[in-house]
Amino acid sequence: MLEGLRYLGTRPNVRMTFLLDLAAMILAMPRVVWPAVGVWYLGGGSTTTGWLNAAFAIGSVLASLLSGGFAHVHKQGRAVVLAVWSFSASTLLFGVVLVLTGRDRPDHVLVWALVLAGVALALAGASDGVSAIFRQTILQTATPDDMRGRLQGVFIVVVAGGPRLGDVVVGAGATGLGEAWAVVVGSIACAVVVALLVRWSPRFLAYDARHPEA
């Protein structure tokens, strides 16, 4: 792990794949608020929470099933950035739906809001799936054989730990701002951080799968 982290310090393109994923998962992942959303915003309780979970998963699965065309995408760094921005835009839409419904604890399911929230989360899941496909491709292609296992260890830590840190960040935001605004603010913060990361490491946008360079 430590060797992998030291290697990342010298490989800006591969490092960016980790930083972009952390930005999305820590700042804009709304999973922690879904149970509260089922009670306070959309109605339906645990059933609504289940549908929100399913919507995100459906988007991820569809992205994987339809990923065959991605083989023709050569500007994979740009694809990752666009996918993470799409993720933040989708979670922002989810947050806006919650703002519009209000925290009124409805005694029935608000079908229109649940449909819009589900579509937003399906788009978020699809965007996350697309990002994961290209990030993993860059990691496997641009990393030499002797470091691939070490970086895979770092990848597992990021994938497993990032969303959990996001639960803490968004959950804390929900305590202070309310669930809806915590999602909105987190999504905007994610988009801003991605823009700053791209400005800090602009060569990532030029990453070309035909000439992989870590």
Task: Name the pTM for this structure.
Answer: 0.92
Residue 100 pLDDT exceeds 90: yes
Q: Is the dihedral of CA 137, 139, 145, 149 positive or negative?
A: negative
DSSP string computed for 122-137 = HHHHHHHHHHHHHHHH
Nearest to 30 by CA among 81, 92, 97: 92
| Separation between Cα atoms, residue 74 and residue 53, nearest integer Å | 32
The rounded mean pLDDT for the chain is 92
Q: Quick check: 14 and 177 in contact, CB under 8 A?
A: no
Note the pLDDT of residue 77.
Answer: 94
Sequence length of the chain is 214
Confidence label for 214 from pLDDT (cuts 50, 70 and 90): low
How many helices, marked H, and strands, marked E, lie in the chain? 8, 0
Correct CATH for 2-206 of 3.90.199.10, 3.10.20.30, 3.40.50.300, 1.20.1250.20: 1.20.1250.20
Q: Where are the domains of the chain?
A: 2-206
Question: How many beta carbons lie within 10 A of that of residue 213, not counting itself?
Answer: 14
Max Cα-Cα span within the chain: 58
Confidence label for 177 from pLDDT (cuts 50, 70 and 90): very high
Residue 71 is given by DSSP the state: G
| Separation between Cα atoms, residue 170 and residue 134, nearest integer Å | 26
